[in-house]
Structure 1
């Protein structure tokens, strides 16, 4: 066998450049100091602050979270209507890093979730001085300052009335999607002489006892409110615009699914409450508790195949849910025709509505599917001209789901409010926007908001954002934003994938911005696990970078003086011997 020899050039190598480039006298990995502004202190905000504390170098960052409410909790501080529960099992609607074996019900009531978030924040706040929470402070505007690579953020102190400006390298938007409630667009709304309340702004002193009450809307909130207030009202009028799938109680479906074995070992009352003995078992037996949590989580994660249009499983669930709803409605032809959809299961958000369908068969309940022409002083006038006299109108009519920011957000290409008013909201992997450097959001366009617990979803997004911040801190970068091409191609994938799903079916849904047949803007094109997997790696090739000024343009300036911070910070310099097969991404 002949060995081929490579001919070596006799020409001396030439330096790539002469002169102005200088070595920075800092070791590789030295972070630049950054300031971070976080908007909102609900579940996403609380978790983001914890991720910053755990993963950024102490002393290299500070953050201020601005929360418009008097307390943390976001949606769960604001929603307190009768019957308000989460529709995700309580033991999965929690942070993975803060298990709570003490949930009282399989589906946690709103006050318990709010208390859980309060405690989580209190514990987190005590562990860091780098993060500050300012309540009753509402962000009202933000402008990107290209020259200094800073966000100028305008804040309204709701307590004092003061308007002030804060500045930071990063703006993290944790305001959420189901948080900005709105009144229904019905003529004459302000003419009504009785009480009018919104499900997301429920007065603490409100009572429906002995009154004729209308509930407008059959989304998740309306489905929970109707059976909750029925026992105390004089009569109930329920206005719905379209049918919706109402799921059987999850306790029944889970008992027949992958979580069946562990569910059979758990003590629950007929109402879905954990017995005191079971709560004590969870607290004293961490193995049992962990098995239960993972079993139910596995069940929730496995529901995506139901959402695939025209699949055998979709057809099976369609038939079984039709049978269930028919049974619960007592076979009433009018009610079944009004409530049971013809569109695919999952086209609208699927809600377990314990007691809802039975409530519609009650003698003092009237279901109205006819359109509302206007609201009048004494109640509601229908399209037919009939006038319905009411004492109270409850608007369970949802939220602004346009994804447009709550405040003017001005980046390199203008105000995102205006941009997304004219075109579909498009984001990179749901959390970043082309032309808006160092801006990240939680549960933005095409996030997996309908795929299961948002708590663990926010954990994955927070870790993704932290990786980007660390990259900027340690690689001589001042700003980063996804490229227009990457966002456009991600959108192309979404639009091509969605017709495979029930979400694209012909139904009016907030998944499609409230439209009937529009594109799906609110959901991820895949399963929950697919989303988590997608966020495991940072695709640097999809991003545009701005590097530090004042030195010659050289992307490797961050390599520094030849030393690594890993050999100078007192940590183990032989870590690679401990896990020789670990792949660092």
Structure 2
């Protein structure tokens, strides 16, 4: 698309303020001439939509657009060599989802032969690849293409994009009416923030960039971190290493196995009927029953979804449910750690249940008690040539270091996104990231994001979240098409009001309690930026209605008249072939 792109990477350009649309009034105060548009009401404006990322959200967006929009084109730029997002990238031993498999799928593409209660990463990746193939979505996805810059152009109402082919290294320009960010937050991995990263002479590995040729068998290995990846990795490699040194900076609440926890909570009637082995894999007979008994399968899926959606009460600060969950989980952890005083002190939190993400951990606490495992609590001072020096003074000599230290969850984009207020990266680096209902951003017209600040990313499966967000975005796109809107963005006051509510709501939740967590961007204290202020159902309910009054609009016509779409007096309904001209005689009274 030629010379349209004008992104300037200089500091001055990246911080400049973009001008607002000009007033429709001329210098002498008279309004520009109004012209009736010679099209019937309902004529759709053509849209070009660019999406970043072909993971769970990007894939679902393509299907949602196809089912609901006309007169548009869409392309997804994906930096990886295949679809799948985080499930393509994460390949460490033991990698799996910590949400039940039958919740972790599209509602419109249910899979009945998941191998395990918690699906392994390769199986989720294969599922996403299969969906793209069967839904014929790959033709809209450009693999190995990375968006490296985006800048809003007010006069044309277009995003000007710079795209890089990762196969050839060549860059080219593109434009879009709408830019939708589906790049996610769990794909920009980070090393631990310690000195001496380059001083260690052995293999230094991050779980999110696991090398195919790394052989840990017979080695003395350090595993840093006890989030989801560290908890899954440790019991997988423990039987094969000579010694495993596990470094735990901040303890994690580890609940009883899902089945046991649901029974304890009085919600496990359906799950009792499902057969799994000691590793939580479904038996072949159980999978066959899922395939053959549709009613049983649907009842099971609905019960799992209901159980997942009903956990919000556990995280209400000082609530009765939270107190019971804390007590039972502490008792469970003490029992699984054999009452070992040292292990219990290092691994059982003193902060409220839910302050840090609660993480299922089959086999983890059994593994840390093995003879070849030693657990170290506290902070790392630095890496040294042959291991790790702790702030306690302990020197840990190892052959290899594995960092299960997670991802950059600051929400800052990985490429410049320059809107009316400058570069979003600078705004969110210098200030707390704030969004409108997690999906739109002040100063960024025609920009939407999946799982932005304060999305319900710890409230259950991202699959159903992505479906609701995609529908919400699509409703706005339909309005834009039908009403000849050039640009739409949330009003600054609406964003301010929404975030004021968040700030006053969060203290009632355990998420805001002191304790290091990625809910608070990895800080001990600070604003909660990564969790929705309400339940999963609350989020879905919130997105059911598009609050049009919370947005500012720029129309295509020079004379900014919102009713220009009324056109020539006819309706598209009376000129489209095959339309029932008296459809209203059969309408329901329900609104």
Contact 1:266 1:278 in 2 (8 A): yes
Tell me how far 1:462 sits from its aligned partner.
0.4
What's the offset of the Cα at 1:574? Answer: 4.5
Deviation of residue 103 (structure 1)? Answer: 0.4
Partner of 2:65: 52
1:94-493 equivalences in 2 (<5 Å): 94-125=105-136, 132-257=140-265, 259-493=267-501
Deviations 1:168-206 (A, max 9, x none): 010000010111111112111112111111011111222
Unaligned runs of 5+ in 2: 1-29
Q: Secondary structure at the match of 2:74?
A: strand
Tell me the equivalent position of 1:89. 100
Structure 1 residue aligned with 2:560: 553
Give the match's secondary structure for 2:560.
Answer: coil
Residue 498 of structure 2 is aligned to residue 498 of structure 1: no
CA distances 1:47-99 after superposition (whole Å, capped 9, x unpaired): 01111101101xx1111111010000000000111111101000000001100
Determine if contact 1:192/1:377 at 8 Å carries over to the other structure. Answer: yes
Aligned with residue 574 of structure 2, among 550, 567, 581: 567
Deviation string for 1:311-362 (max 9, x for gaps)?
Answer: 1111111110010000000000111111111111110000011111111111
Distance 2:146 2:36 in 1: 44
* 3-state secondary structure, aligned to 1:138: strand
Contact 2:68 2:474 survives alignment (8 Å): yes
For 2:528 and 2:32, the matched residues in 1 are separated by: 54
Counterparts of 1:474 and 1:219 in 2: how far apart (Å)? Answer: 47
Task: Single out whichever of 562-571 and 236-245 deviates more from structure 2.
Answer: 562-571
For residues 581 and 575 of structure 1, what CA distance do their matches in structure 2 show?
A: 13
Deviates more, 1:475-484 or 1:199-208: 199-208
RMSD of aligned residue pairs (Cα, Å) = 1.6
Alpha-carbon distance in structure 1 between the residues aligned to 2:123 and 2:589: 43
Q: Give 3-state SS (helix, strand or coil) of 1:336's partner.
A: helix
Displacement of 1:579: 4.7
Give yes or no for the alignment of 1:76 onto 2:83. Answer: no
TM-score, scaled to structure 2: 0.93
Of 36, 46, 49 in structure 2, the residue corresponding to residue 36 of structure 1 is: 49
Gaps of 5+ in 1: 1-16
Q: Deviations over 1:247-302 (max 9, x none)?
A: 11102112344642221222222221111122122122222111110011001111
Give how far 1:18 is off: 11
2:5 corresponds in structure 1 to none
The aligned length equals 561
Is contact 2:75–2:140 with CA below 8 Å preserved after alignment?
yes
Deviation at 1:232, TM superposition (A): 0.4
